[in-house]
């Protein structure tokens, strides 16, 4: 089995092929896969280690996709086990969980409804998210993926005279949007340990409209603990009280560092702070396009103005609502159980 890791640093698209597991046959499978994906370019591949290839790819990402998809299709037809998993978008190859799939299967009849008329619809979904955070529905905005909210945040809070501050490298949606609409971007390099330089980012916020704090950060996979996040927010609020602070927690569910915890309480207690989350990663629903942001009402209203009306589909809303309801119930059970002991 091979996995694909795209490395887009320095704007050069490279593809790494990594064999999972130590078995010789997996290394051979990865090599075969690398050769198929790279085609003629495989001659220029660098073998980094057993089963790991650095492909001098391929200016055009679509070419890779076309080759990869063809490869996967062939393998599905042939029932072979040496396929690749494309993880360059950090999707969850396992897909949605069983409860979510059960909802999806029974939900097609609702596809005739607009998302505000479906049951559950957008409002119920937002209310369920709010309940999870002990907040009100007005503290939540939903989007077609958190990507929609990241883009809308740049539109809502920045302008030609109010720059975006972002780490470099960091997730690209905010700075790409800023470039599209003519907002200047202050790129703050990560430090020598690939961690966000929070002091420099906070200081750069003077006069900025929005700061993008990706925690964990894609693509460096670094994470900052709750104390550092609170200090960052306090510092930004001091040097730039009107700058909006976007804390992206797309990879929240994967963090094992005990110093980390969600910044949602901060978003609910502090003006101008909001946290975005997604169902695309740990929940395996990237294709269903669903994300949300949590923050104070004024901050959320600024984002709601830019929302695509009825932009979230009823299938995703149904699956995600069921998932969150289950998780809220489970966490209640867990806290009751632990309170007794």
> Which alpha helices (DSSP H) does 146-195 contain, by range?
146-157, 172-181
Cα-to-chain-centroid distance, residue 83: 25
Of 51, 84, 96, 145, the one binding ligand PLP by CB under 6 A: 145
- Does 171 bind ligand PLP (CB under 6 A)? Our answer is yes
In this chain, which stretch among 43-51, 104-112, 139-147, 191-199 interacts with ligand PLP, using CB under 6 A? 139-147
- Does 103 bind ligand PLP (CB under 6 A)? Our answer is no
Yes or no: say if 37 and 71 are a contact pair by the CB < 8 Å rule. Answer: yes
Give the residue at shortest CB distance from ligand PLP.
145
Yes or no: say if 51 and 26 are a contact pair by the CB < 8 Å rule. Answer: yes
Rounded to whole angstroms, how far apart are CA atoms 142 and 130?
11
Pick out residues in 211-240 that bind ligand PLP (CB under 6 A): 214, 218
Of 129, 286, 294, 315, the one binding ligand PLP by CB under 6 A: 286
Give the shortest CB-228-to-ligand PLP separation in angstroms.
18
Q: How many CA atoms lie within 13 A of 186 on its CB side?
A: 23
Rounded to whole angstroms, how far apart are CA atoms 243 and 335?
36
- Does 51 bind ligand PLP (CB under 6 A)? Our answer is no
Binding mask 5-24 for ligand PLP (x = CB under 6 A): --------------------
- Among residues 278, 308, 310, the alpha carbon closest in space to that of 293 is found at 278
Of 31, 110, 122, 248, the one binding ligand PLP by CB under 6 A: 248
Yes or no: say if 224 and 196 are a contact pair by the CB < 8 Å rule. Answer: yes
The angle subtended at Cα 156 by Cα 143 and Cα 234, nearest 5°, is 95
Place of tokens 């632990």: 338
Give the shortest CB-89-to-ligand PLP separation in angstroms.
6
* Nearest to ligand PLP of 19, 285 (CB atom): 285
Residues that bind ligand PLP (CB under 6 A): 89-90, 145-147, 171, 214, 218, 248, 250, 278, 280, 286, 291
């Amino acid at each position: 089995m091979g996995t694909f890791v795209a490395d887009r640093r320095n704007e050069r698209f490279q593809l790494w092929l990594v064999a999972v597991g130590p078995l010789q046959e997996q290394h051979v499978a990865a090599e075969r896969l690398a050769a198929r994906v790279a085609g003629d370019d495989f001659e220029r591949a660098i073998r980094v280690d057993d089963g790991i290839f650095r492909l001098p790819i391929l200016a055009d990402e679509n070419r890779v996709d076309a080759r990869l998809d063809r490869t996967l299709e062939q393998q599905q037809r042939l029932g072979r086990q040496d396929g690749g998993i494309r993880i360059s978008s950090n999707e969850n190859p396992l897909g949605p969980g069983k409860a979510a799939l059960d909802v999806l299967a029974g939900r097609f009849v609702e596809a005739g409804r607009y998302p505000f008329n479906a049951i559950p619809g957008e409002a119920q979904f937002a209310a369920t998210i709010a309940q999870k955070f002990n907040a009100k529905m007005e503290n939540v905005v939903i989007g077609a993926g958190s990507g929609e909210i990241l883009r809308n945040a740049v539109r809502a809070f920045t302008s030609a005279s109010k720059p975006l501050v972002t780490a470099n490298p960091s997730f690209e949606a905010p700075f790409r949007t800023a470039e599209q609409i003519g907002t200047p971007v202050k790129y703050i390099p990560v430090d020598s340990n690939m961690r966000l330089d929070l002091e420099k980012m906070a200081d750069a916020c003077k006069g900025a409209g929005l700061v993008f704090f990706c925690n964990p950060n894609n693509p460096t996979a670094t994470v900052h603990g709750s104390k550092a996040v609170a200090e960052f927010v306090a510092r930004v609020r001091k040097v730039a009280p009107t700058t909006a602070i976007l804390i992206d927690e797309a990879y929240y569910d994967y963090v094992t560092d005990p110093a980390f915890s969600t910044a949602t309480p901060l978003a609910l207690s502090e003006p101008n702070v909001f946290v975005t989350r997604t169902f695309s990663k740990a929940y395996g629903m990237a294709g269903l396009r669903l994300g949300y942001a949590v923050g104070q009402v004024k901050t959320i209203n600024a984002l709601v103005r830019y929302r695509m009306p009825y932009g979230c589909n009823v299938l995703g809303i149904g699956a995600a609502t069921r998932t969150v309801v289950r998780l809220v119930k489970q966490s209640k059970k867990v806290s009751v159980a632990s309170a007794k002991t």
